[in-house]
Structure 1
Amino acid sequence: MELFTPIKRQRFKQMVERVLHVPGNYRGGILEMALVVDCRFSPGELKEALAELVRTLKQQSETFRNVRLNLVLWKPGEKIQSRVVPMSMLAMGDLADEMEGAEGELYADDLLSYLKLFQARAKLILVLSAGKVQVQDEQACRKACKPFLERKMIWLSVEKGNLEENLFNISLL
């Protein structure tokens, strides 16, 4: 599964630059970012997608050569888990085997409240989602996105091999 076409890769790079240059956001030094991975992907698809995502980010700029990466594992019906990992482990696919293909519905409400509490320090938040995500309480989602998350998040939704990329907007869920 190829994550990006050349045009989508360019659009993704532009979105990342836009997020990094939001007033009050990243200003040099070591970048702290969060990568949220939907564990509904099959391990093979996930391994390939993560490798391509890391490769694209590292090609984009020197900023991504030295990054504190918080990997957030988002599994249906389970507590959201987070840990710090080097980008090179994602590129090699060492972690994809641990993220088995889970089944079930995911809720944006849970993820956004978690990100607001535990990942608000990140300058860039990438969400790699395998399909549709449910919203239980749209008002709670909007509240969780204020004041910072909405400007820091890029949502990449892969459905049946097609990538949809959006600067996070709650109405797109």
Structure 2
Amino acid sequence: MEHKLMQVIKIEGHEADDVIATLVGQVLQSGYRVVIASPDKDFKQLLSEDVQLVIPLEELERWSFYTLKHYMAQYNCDPCCDLSLRCIVGDQADGVPGIQHLAPGFGQKTALKLIKKHGSLENLLKTAAVRTVGRQYAQDALTKHADYLRRNYEILSLRRGHLITLLYCDP
């Protein structure tokens, strides 16, 4: 991976995806576009017109671009909803279970509908605390497991703002 045009960055005590999220912000502020090559679904929350992913397609044994348009076509919502959605349905790769095992029937379809309507997990949980947001099983799950879902949010959130100095080189 070491190459004269590629910088290897390691920060003790920080996860690589958090370091990458920080670097993405710095690169965007400098006016550049970003392409992240990774199978990590956590990076979907960074997608924008200026941030694309290159993800492996194992069945085709190749990598493919995954853009904001792909995300919108797949989920019909903004990528900022991705984190909230994964808090409810879980993220197997990160070892974070959703609430399906606590509330049978509360799957991706229900979660996506509610997140699209309320915009974020926190808005959904605040609304569920004061009025009905959906079917009874969903309402019960959201009010009973709000702390669990907030914990998932903390675990799955990319942490930005690490003190990293990125050196730019002319190719």
User: Which band: TM-score by shorter chain?
Assistant: under 0.3
TM-score by length of 2: 0.27
- Identify the structure with the greater helix proportion: 2
TM-score by length of 1: 0.27
- Identify the structure with the greater strand proportion: 1
